[in-house]
Amino acid sequence: MRCPFCHSEDTQVKDSRPAEDNTAIRRRRVCNDCGGRHTTFERVQLRELYVVKKNGRKVVFDRDKLARSFEIALRKRPIEADRIERAVSGIVRQLESSGEQEIASDDVGALVMEVLKNLDDVGYVRYASVYKDFRDPNDFQELLGELGGHLPTVEPEVQD
């Protein structure tokens, strides 16, 4: 494991234990070259997953990108970090246990939408506005209607 300070490959594990969420191993490491201490989290990966983009391009599934999507959607919302981590881990487990090595990006997005809908309405609307490519205020109104929220109808402005 590379040292984040001096980039040496010569690091030594000083302590190893399950992470708080039991989805990873937490390892305390020390660099033999510079003496720097750092923590790594190691997760078991059942198999390499690929996301198939809308244009057909395949990219390696990135758990961190999934976590960032949740963090952006839930920014400044009263959702604990461990709930977000459990949601991300749940989606990853669901994808890994699906038996498929290639997953359509739309399927990943739909899973995120489903989880966010149960986690936080505001985060759900934020994510949906990007995922569904909202172009008009009425798109928000339709989505809020599904959630049971009520907004006045927004009429498009008429240009003279």
pLDDT in tens, 111-140: 999 999 999 999 999 999 998 888 888 888
**Which residue ranges in the chain fall short of pLDDT 70?**
21, 44-46, 149-160
Task: Supply the pTM of this predicted model.
Answer: 0.65
To the nearest 10°, the Cα dihedral for 62, 13, 25, 43? 20
Q: Kindly list the domain boundaries of the chain, sorted by start residue.
A: 11-42, 50-143
Which residues 6+ apart lie within 8 Å of 109 measured at CB?
131
What per-residue confidence (pLDDT) applies to 159? 59
